[in-house]
Structure 1
C-alpha cells in the first residue's frame, strides 16, 4: 500500500463526447456552460479537470481549437486546477483532429486511451423517448458499428509529439486488462516514465464490466507490472457504477474520477444538476472515510507535472 498520508486526487470529466443533449438538460454544451461547470467543480474539490469541446449550436462533439479557446483560458484564469485535454475526442474524429488543440495548448496533462476497442452505448438509444437534435439518434445508434482507434503507432506518436515534444504527462485510460500490458510495453520502450497515472475504467460496453472483482484484478495486475510505488491508480465507474467503484478505489489507496462525462446521475434515478454536485458528494464520502483530498498543487507534485506556467494556454 502507498503511504497512509497520501491524499486522494479528484478528477472531474466535465462533458465528454458520449452523452448527448437529450439525455440530460444539465449536460454542459456551450463554452459558457463548460467553463461554469468546470470552475464550480474545481471549487468543490476537483484537482484535475478533464475537458472535451462541443459545438455550441447543437452540442455535438468537436475537435475545433477555436471552441476549446472559448472556455479553456477562462478555466485557467478562474482556477488553479490542472487542465487535462482529451486526445480521445470521439470515435468519429481522426488522430490529427484529436491532437489539434493539445498540440496548440501544450497542457500539463492529456488523456490517452491505451488501445483500440469497441466503445458503445448504443442500447441507450432505446430509452430516449424524444430527441432534442437530429444528429443524436444516429450518433448513438451508430456506435454499434464503430471502433475507437488507438494503434500502437498512434499511441507512440502521441507519446512522442505531446509527451517528449511538449512535456505533457498523461492520464492513461485503461478500459481492459490488455491496456495495462500495452502501457507496460511503452514503459519498456522508454516512451513512458514515472510517475505513471493510470485511470482504470469500468462499465463501458466493449471494456471491462463494473464488477468489483475486476477492479481488484486491475489493481493487482498494475502492481505486478509497475510495482505498487511505480504508479498512481485512479478509477472511474460508468453510469450507476460511478460512486460505488470510486469509493472502493479510494479505500484501496487509489484516486477517483467523477463528472457528467462518466455518469449523468447523482443517485438512483436522479440526474445530477452539475459536475460540482458529483465532486462535492465524492468529497464528502472521502472525508467520511478519513481520507484527505489533494489540492491542485499537491496533485501536480504527486504526478510530476510541469506546471501551468509551462503551458501555452
Structure 2
C-alpha cells in the first residue's frame, strides 16, 4: 500500500442504518446534520460523507433535502463533500443518485457489489421505538439484499464520473469487491488514484477481523499497486480499533455515527466531533499528520470545490 504522507479523516455523520430510537445524539433534521458536519470539520475531518433523512429519521433521497444541507455546510467551512449513492437498499437507483446528481460533488460513495446487508439485530436491542417505521425497516434487511449490480455500478460511474467529474470512494465490503473494481478499471470507467474504503463488520460482508484488513490491503496492492489510497472502518464496537489499524498501516480513517453510535464501552458518543477528536488524537500519537481538505483533494485527484454545483 502506498503510505500516505497525511491521514484523511472522513466523517459519516448520519447514514441510513442506525435509527432514532438507538440514540438521541444521531443527527436527523437538516439543521442537526449541518451542525454535526460543521463540528466534525472543525475537529479535523477533511471529508464529510452525507446521507439525508426525513424529519422522522427515515432515509431520504430527495434533492430538495440535500439542498437544505450541502450549501449551508460549504458556506461555512472548506471541506470535501462526499454524497452517498448507496442511500438505502429500499431506494431505486435513480433515487440513490438524486442527491449526487444535483450537486456533482467532489466525491461520492460507490458500493462495489450486491450483498446481504443485514442490520435486523438492531430490533433485538431497542426496547422502545420512537417511530412506527423503524422496526419493520431494520427487520426487513434480513430478507432483502442490497443490490449493487454491475449495470448500476456502471450507471453511477458514467453519470457522476464521466459527465460530472465526481470521483469515488469505492466501498469494498469483501475481497471480491476489489476484483469488481479492477474490472471497471480495465474497462476504463474507473481511473486512478482510487480511494478504496474497506468496510468491515457488516453482517453479510467481511468480518471485523484484523487479519481481514491486512489481507484486503495485500490484494489491493496486487491489483492496484501505488494507484490507490486506502481507508478502512468497522461498524459498531470495532470502529476505533480498525481506524487505528488502518492509520498504523499507512492508510486513512473513517468515523461517524453512521458507522457506530459509541465512543467507548457502554458510552454513546455525544456527537460526530467527539469521534473525530478521539481518532485524531490516536493518529497524532502514531506520529502521523492530519490531512486538510486541500491535502485530500491533491491525494485523491479531486476536481475542487469550484466544481460542485451549488
For normalisation by structure 2, the TM-score amounts to: 0.99
Q: Distance in 2 between matches of 1:101 and 1:7?
A: 29
Q: Deviations over 1:48-72 (max 9, x none)?
A: 000000001x111010111111111
| Pairs within 5 Å for 1:225-236 | 225-227=223-225, 229-236=226-233
Q: Which residue is equivalent to 1:249?
A: 246
Q: Which residue is equivalent to 1:168?
A: 166
Q: Which residue is equivalent to 2:266?
A: 269
Secondary structure at the aligned position of 2:24 is classed as coil
Q: Deviations over 1:142-200 (max 9, x none)?
A: 11011111111110111011000000000000000000000000000000110000000
Q: Deviations over 1:208-229 (max 9, x none)?
A: 00000000110000000111x1
Q: Which residue is equivalent to 1:18?
A: 17
The Cα of 1:125 is off from its aligned counterpart by 0.6
The answer to whether the aligner puts 1:299 opposite 2:296 as a matched pair is: yes
Number of aligned residues: 310
Q: Which residue is equivalent to 2:39?
A: 40
List gaps (5 residues or longer) in structure 2: none
Question: Quick one: which of 176, 179, 202 aligns to 1:178?
Answer: 176
Q: Which residue is equivalent to 1:223?
A: 221
Q: Deviations over 1:13-33 (max 9, x none)?
A: 000000000000000000000
Secondary structure at the aligned position of 2:7 is classed as coil
Q: Distance in 2 between matches of 1:258 and 1:98?
A: 22
Q: Which residue is equivalent to 1:288?
A: 285
Q: Distance in 1 between matches of 2:103 and 2:189?
A: 21
The Cα of 1:101 is off from its aligned counterpart by 1.6
Which stretch of structure 1 is more off in the superposition, 166-175 or 116-125?
Answer: 116-125
Q: Deviations over 1:235-254 (max 9, x none)?
A: 01100000001101100011
Q: Distance in 2 between matches of 1:270 and 1:207?
A: 26
The Cα of 1:310 is off from its aligned counterpart by 1.0
Q: Distance in 2 between matches of 1:71 and 1:231?
A: 30
Q: Distance in 2 between matches of 1:101 and 1:81?
A: 17
Judge conservation of contact 2:2–2:228 (CA < 8 Å) in 1: no
Q: Distance in 2 between matches of 1:176 and 1:285?
A: 26
Q: Distance in 2 between matches of 1:32 and 1:294?
A: 26
For normalisation by structure 1, the TM-score amounts to: 0.98
Q: Distance in 2 between matches of 1:19 and 1:201?
A: 16
Secondary structure at the aligned position of 2:6 is classed as coil
> Over aligned residue pairs, what C-alpha RMSD do you find?
0.8
Q: Which residue is equivalent to 1:49?
A: 48
| Pairs within 5 Å for 1:63-82 | 63-82=61-80
Q: Distance in 2 between matches of 1:97 and 1:77?
A: 26
List gaps (5 residues or longer) in structure 1: none
Q: Distance in 1 between matches of 2:53 and 2:146?
A: 18
Q: Distance in 1 between matches of 2:163 and 2:2?
A: 31
Q: Which residue is equivalent to 2:2?
A: 2
Secondary structure at the aligned position of 1:117 is classed as coil
Q: Which residue is equivalent to 1:97?
A: 95
The Cα of 1:124 is off from its aligned counterpart by 1.8
